[in-house]
Structure 1
């Protein structure tokens, strides 16, 4: 750390530079130092210094998702935006928010709630997740059902390039079409194209009432209900399918489950809940949750899938994508005890299970691809490891990418980071 810290000491104050122990770093990121710039100018100065000395840099926010993705090709410096955490502008009338990348969603939510507004994401580790980290990992969550992904709500961005230059795109109004759409490009880029400094989002009004319908039963019965709900005119804000192990962890026994959440004016919510209840067949049981129970079940599902590192043990976390009508068939093939949630319309989801070998991962990956081909001709599906022991990540293709866009990704990486100094080796194809 001494050399990196000594050089950085000429760029930022000493109280911005820490040892790697200040973050819960995974074992494959043995950085020499962690730096916490407090302004965009300091961030730019740090990146210019890193470029000058050819340091390999990994950007992060609070560090809650540093274990996600590939093991990388080494790192000299972790750049944390945790102290870049200020709200720049909350245009209440325009329903937009501009804030620095290190602002935590948990801190922003009560501020927005004072104006009956909210940012429509429910990410992993919501108590620690920062805006920059949420965008960098494209971590939208169950609210994607109603509000779309992060690319749909991010309307402006400012980031620092590999050489310390600041770049901006978009703006602070929803109908802004100026410049290149760098918002979509940086969403899900895992810090490989730049260090996000500032973000502007569109917001949504908080709803008057919220209720969740939980229906449990056999795989066939749950699949049938999910299909009926997808084809119906009902508009849940969240609509998830749960594995028996996750349903059991929430107190509903070892059964498959549908969770459908409705939010609107009270009369509208009641009407939709009654309509869904009428679709539930005799082979299913269901409950209607309101008030605290409604809030708690979604929080409990998130905590089960994303426990703190010390509680996760040797389990493996993966992101999966497959045709939505094949989701229950895939959940039925999971190893016993697997905690899994699939967003029923998009087919995206998360699974946590006790994989111990590369064969365990590849077997599950094969079922995704096989069911995807059966569901939609030409569709391959995917399973990407997010969290896993180092030995497992070293023995398997973490991303499992089988698409045809790798050449485009490589060209973009060469354009935005020609020295391959930003999160090297942590993205698809070793980018």
Structure 2
């Protein structure tokens, strides 16, 4: 098999794969038997041919980009062939006047942001591993980040995409304009599908102008006061681009204080940012909360450090999770998280959506189970993203309790009837 595929396209036999790639892949599969090959197609046509070949031979495929999120989600039951899109890295079209851009799946977000900044535009995504994360991986995992407060999630920014089907055919959905209504909304379906329906090859996004000014204010103090400040913010006319409640352990690691916090970022014209910061400071004084203000490089460092702490494993035994709760229960979740994890867990929750990230330094099974139960008690969920294989084999990574599992299976059957894409990775071991 190795020889046959290698003769087809840009493919490396497993024994010649770099150790760093081997480690990433082994952390994503359920069995010890490694894949036979790792393939790096250089264009959409090569990717199509590889998948067509795999389909004919019934080889299971593990899709990825740079591999930064290969360990997210469930363990793949079998992976005969790993296909990376990181060499599909062309900028297809940047329509500056239309505020849209079309790129191949292997383009790194960091490189795209540099290009867009030359036109004073940006893509408001703040994913984990921002320097290495590729566009395809970001869309496949629906990894948006702190800007969700103002701009929405990944699915809200995708205008169109191309993907390679299970039979190797290239399909397209959506378009390259903001007002596009043609066809089924496959963009939302593929966002967060974890590579189980097909391999994303190109994506078109809506863009936004880079704000003139930016400043962040962090409020810290007693839990009820932070909850009151959050409600005041939500009911006001203020328009933050990011707003997250922070657990006491996270605030402590950010070296801001020891009680729970509320980080609020305003990005607009100078006068607007100044006025909104002033209003938040007034609320903080009324509630007896401490404030810390950040701008320029200090602000950038703050959000980068917050992301690093909550979304990147600090050790081989660490566990990172995506959580969701009712927004009005966020302060209770933060407080109880510190108790459950003995102040070893860091958690940040978006004040509007209730979505958040949880990082546990040691990742004990009972702690994760208690946190999952706590989230479910508040009409939420806890999904394990990265964790040691031993933890993933003992816990259901998704913890799904909804009623759409049968529909998900039917969709999987329609798109991938032979179950070649990431088998076992998704909810219900789809």
After TM superposition, the score normalised by the length of structure 1 is: 0.94
Deviation at 1:31, TM superposition (A): 2.1
Aligned to 1:21: 19
- Which one of the candidate residues 8, 12, 16 is aligned to 1:11? 8
- Which one of the candidate residues 322, 335, 342 is aligned to 1:319? 322
CA distance in 2, matches of 1:402, 1:34: 35
> For residues 253-332 of structure 1, what are the structure 2 equivalents within 5 Å?
253-280=257-284, 281-307=286-312, 311-332=314-335
Deviation at 1:93, TM superposition (A): 0.4
CA RMSD, Structure 1 to Structure 2 (Å): 1.5
Aligned to 1:162: 166
Whether the 8 Å contact between 1:20 and 1:34 is mirrored in structure 2 is no
CA distance in 2, matches of 1:183, 1:330: 32
Whether the 8 Å contact between 1:355 and 1:361 is mirrored in structure 2 is no
> Tell me, what secondary structure is at the counterpart of 1:246?
helix
- Which one of the candidate residues 359, 370, 390 is aligned to 1:363? 370
- Which one of the candidate residues 161, 182, 186 is aligned to 2:186? 182
Deviates more, 1:289-298 or 1:199-208: 289-298
Q: In 2 relative to 1, CA 16–272 (structure 1 residues): closer, same or farther, beyond 3 Å? A: farther
CA distance in 2, matches of 1:153, 1:68: 22
Q: In 2 relative to 1, CA 26–214 (structure 1 residues): closer, same or farther, beyond 3 Å? A: farther
> For residues 128-167 of structure 1, what are the structure 2 equivalents within 5 Å?
128-167=132-171
Deviates more, 1:163-172 or 1:245-254: 245-254
Deviation at 1:356, TM superposition (A): 4.6
Q: Unpaired runs of 5+ in structure 2?
A: none
In the alignment, does 2:83 pair up with 1:76? no
Deviation at 1:304, TM superposition (A): 1.5
Deviates more, 1:108-117 or 1:274-283: 274-283
> For residues 14-413 of structure 1, what are the structure 2 equivalents within 5 Å?
19=17, 21=19, 23=21, 24-29=24-29, 30-280=34-284, 281-307=286-312, 311-334=314-337, 335=341, 336-354=343-361, 356-370=363-377, 372=378, 380-413=379-412
After TM superposition, the score normalised by the length of structure 2 is: 0.94
CA distance in 1, matches of 2:67, 2:363: 25
Q: Unpaired runs of 5+ in structure 1?
A: 373-379
Aligned to 2:424: 425
Whether the 8 Å contact between 2:309 and 2:359 is mirrored in structure 1 is no
Deviation at 1:72, TM superposition (A): 2.0
> Tell me, what secondary structure is at the counterpart of 1:365?
helix
Whether the 8 Å contact between 2:382 and 2:398 is mirrored in structure 1 is yes
Deviation at 1:138, TM superposition (A): 0.4
Deviations 1:303-341 (A, max 9, x none): 11233x6x4331111110110110110111112221111
Q: In 2 relative to 1, CA 110–278 (structure 1 residues): closer, same or farther, beyond 3 Å? A: same
